[in-house]
Amino acid sequence: MKSEGTGPAAIAPRARRFALPRRAAGGDSRGLALARYLGVRLLLIPVTAWILVTAVFFMMRVIGDPIEAALGGRLPPDQIEQRREAAGLNRPILVQYWEYLSGLARGDFGQTQDHRMVADIIATRGAATLELVCWALLVAFAIGVPLGRYAATHRDSASDAALRLFAILAYAAPVFFVGLLLKLLFAVRLGWLPVSGRASADVELRLQHVSPKTNIMVVDAILYGDNAYLLDVLKHAVLPAIALGLLTAGVFLRLVRINLIQTLRSDYVDAARARGLSARVVTGRHAVRNAMIPIVTVMGMYIAMMLGGAVLTEMTFEWKGLGFELAEYLKARDFMAVQGIVAFIALVVAVMSFVVDALVALIDPRVRF
């Protein structure tokens, strides 16, 4: 009977047989580590949200009595006291805080001075802000990524210097100033695009009757089935989206440029070039993908910035979203409504932070769990 042998040729197959389970186990351990990482991040959502909404609650109390601030001097003292009692503002601060947290847990963001539920305002106006932020992100990607790629592949040229200057200006320019310039040029001077609003008055009136109504104007126009209405909605979205998206486009341009330059110097890119791949293929198929990872990393922060910028953009273009409502309630000194809207935005930021962390963990193998 022939023995199996103990030489290298005999040992190698056995080594390979035992190596496979170890690789599988490594994959399983990474999967468990990823699940644990995402689980911890998921548990941090309520903690982050609690910190943010607590800050909102006490900041609103720093200004003094919200009812007195909104209605003082316009109503007699007895009526102001009645409103304070109805709003629960005559109770101890810790009792108010507990009721505030309990209400948020039930989805109750409070009431405005005219007895409208803030949750209803969020449901109707929040869709408009979501639509604006999505358009702005589309603009940021459409402008920032291609220009960043071009700047990286033409490093230290005159066009690279011009694009870097553009990125700085786009990031530094105030949103409302950019919005006013766009309105003056493309709406007032050239007459190419509408001055303000989410749609023309007659189109907006017709879209009120679409079913099911989403309050996202472009979706409602598609559901209505009239291309002229859809075109009208898209025209109204152009200027606000550019005004809000340019800020983030400048950031994306700089991130893509810097990371693409670093990626093009890496060993695997040199190996791809050595295999005879063209510069376009090396850049497009290999380098750009890795250069996009930092954009995903900062996405949560810049979506939060966009929500802040949406207030100024919506005011400039009379885009009646959550930012527009927030500005109106600030002017009316309705701080209970402001508290509810800002608390909702804080919750959105907390959830978006988790989503971004999850995306980065899934697409970036360098992330350690």
Please work out, in degrees rounded to the nearest 5, the angle formed at the alpha carbon of residue 38 by the alpha carbons of 32 and 41: 145
In a domain, 3, yes or no: no
Structure tokens at 104: 């948020």
Report how many domains make up the chain. Answer: 1
The CATH number of the domain holding residue 279 is 1.10.3720.10
Is residue 26 included in any domain, yes or no? Answer: no
- pLDDT tens, 1-56? 444 444 444 444 444 444 444 444 455 566 787 788 788 888 888 888 888 888 88
Task: State how far Cα 30 lies from the chain centre.
Answer: 29
CA distance 218 to 238: 12
pLDDT in tens, 63-88: 666 676 666 666 777 777 777 777 67
**How confident is the model at residue 3, as a pLDDT?**
47
Task: Tell me whether residue 283 is in a domain.
Answer: yes
25 in a structural domain: no
**Residue 223 backbone dihedrals phi, psi, to 5 degrees:** -65, -35
Q: Can you tell me the distance from the alpha carbon of 227 to that of 230, in angstroms, rounded to the nearest whole number?
A: 5
Question: What pLDDT is recorded for position 30?
Answer: 64
Residue-averaged pLDDT of the chain: 80
pLDDT at residue 282, rounded to an integer: 67
In this predicted model, which residue has the larger pLDDT, 262 or 75? 262
Quote the pLDDT of residue 342: 85
Q: Is residue 16 a part of any domain in this protein?
A: no
Q: Is 96 exposed, middle or buried (0-12, 13-18, 19+ CB in 10 A)?
A: middle
* Residue 199 vs residue 353, higher pLDDT: 199
For the full predicted model, state whether its pTM sits above 0.75. Answer: yes
In a domain, 8, yes or no: no
Asked if residue 278 has pLDDT above 60, the reply is yes
> Residue 15: its pLDDT value, please?
41
Name the residue type at position 135. W
Residue 362 main-chain phi, psi, to 5 deg: -80, -35
107-112: list long-range contacts, CB under 8 Å, 24+ apart.
109/340, 109/341, 109/343, 109/344, 110/336, 110/337, 110/339, 110/340, 111/87, 111/336, 111/337, 112/329, 112/334, 112/336, 112/337
- Distance between CA 198 and CA 321 in Å, rounded? 9
Residue 229 phi/psi, 5-degree rounding, is: -65, -40
For residue 328, the enclosing domain spans: 38-363
Q: What is the pLDDT of residue 281?
A: 67
Number of H helices, E strands in the chain: 16, 0
Distance CA 362, CA 343 (A): 29
pLDDT at residue 78, as a whole number: 75
Highest mean pLDDT among 56-60, 109-113, 245-249, 279-283: 245-249
* Residue pLDDT, tens place only, 201-243: 888 888 888 877 888 889 989 988 889 999 999 999 999 999 9
- Give the model confidence (pLDDT) of 146-202 as tens digits: 898 888 888 889 998 999 999 999 888 888 899 999 999 999 999 899 998 898 988
